[in-house]
Amino acid sequence: MMTSNPIPRHLLLRQMILIRRFEERAAEMYALGKIAGFCHLYIGEEAVAVGAISATREEDYIVTSYRDHGHALARGASPNQVMAELFGKATGVSKGKGGSMHLFDVARNFMGGYAIVGGHIPIATGIAFAMKYLEKDAVVLCFFGEGAVPSGAFHESLNLAALWKLPVVYICENNRYGMGTPVERASALYDIGNAARAYDIPFHQVDGMSVTAAYQQMKEVIESVRVYKRPSFVEARTYRYMGHSMSDPAHGHYRTKAEIDEHKKNDPIFQLTQEMIQASEMTPSDLTKMEAEIAGIVQEAVDFAEASPEPALSALTEDVWVE
């Protein structure tokens, strides 16, 4: 086992609170009609993206699905530009042409933001192939929900990644539901680890409600992929508090409010806050200050998005092809 470098816990906490407060405002903006189209919130799952992405290096790559706000912010994308993208404004991280599901930040090796379930897994695998071909040390993190596991794209990708020994970490964010369908009604494979074992890929299970556990385990996994040049698979057990997207109710017929409340008892932000206060790493007044600072950042992001222009009509044909 490799030992991981400690990371100041207040940094992990700050990132999780930023994502939570950012998305709470995004939900308000959606209700006000400022954000159109699909909008999938990550609230409840923050510890996974923050833990994993905090364990990466600058040269590593991130690829994820449509539930991508948290990953982009954890990677350091500007809250102003992410909010502007949700508003469909020209100053957005994808120049207002991607929207919530298609955040993209090349400068930070954040390669999207994809709407087709499982469709981005071959893209991440292809980037890992490029890293190997170019003899780079970079590792690719590929996030997806458990709903993507039965897809053909997933299995084809794992096969080639194992066969060609590609530097990719597949991270299944298992929040137990694909839209309103529980995993046991959608997948013959209930133990997701069996998918990794089938391709002889090392498998790890992570508590996706604990940011420190996620960080420490991901650090070891990422560094072992970097050193040994072969893929790895992580299942992060997590839970989404909100509906599948902004147009869905939080529970509906497929789960109860009591079930959601039960999971909220393990809330990653609450857990870390309690731990840090008990360990005298933070006082309640430090937390209030952090919240106030983040509220200012989120307000600035909303103001920036509001004040930004729409993309010009001519932008429609720009960025379509890259030489």
Ligand X SMILES: Cc1ncc(C[n+]2csc(CCOP(=O)(O)OP(=O)(O)O)c2C)c(N)n1
Residues in the site for ligand X, rule: CB under 6 A?
Answer: 67, 115-117, 145-148, 175, 177-179, 244
Give the tokens for residue 220. 């070891």
CB 18 within 8 A of CB 70: no
For 37, list phi and psi in degrees, rounded to 5. 75, -160
Residue 66 or 304: which CB sits closer to ligand X? 66
Report in angstroms how near the CB of residue 194 gets to ligand X at its nearest.
17
| DSSP letter for each residue of 34-66 | SS-S-----TT-HHHHHHHHTTS-TT-EEEE-S
Report in angstroms how near the CB of residue 74 gets to ligand X at its nearest.
16
DSSP 146: G
Distances (CA, A) of 16 to 23, 38, 130, 272, 294: 11, 22, 31, 10, 11
Residue 25 or 244: which CB sits closer to ligand X? 244
Residue 70 or 96: which CB sits closer to ligand X? 70
Residue 7 or 115: which CB sits closer to ligand X? 115
In the complex, residue closest to ligand X by CB? 145
Report in angstroms how near the CB of residue 123 gets to ligand X at its nearest.
14
| Alpha carbons 121 and 173: distance in angstroms, whole number | 13
Of 39, 159, 58, the C-alpha closest to 110 is 58
Give the tokens for residue 298. 């989120």
Report in angstroms how near the CB of residue 243 gets to ligand X at its nearest.
10
Residue 188 or 279: which CB sits closer to ligand X? 188
Residue 87 or 177: which CB sits closer to ligand X? 177
SS3 state at 98: coil
Report in angstroms how near the CB of residue 129 gets to ligand X at its nearest.
22
Of 72, 13, 76, 5, the C-alpha closest to 293 is 13
Report in angstroms how near the CB of residue 303 gets to ligand X at its nearest.
30
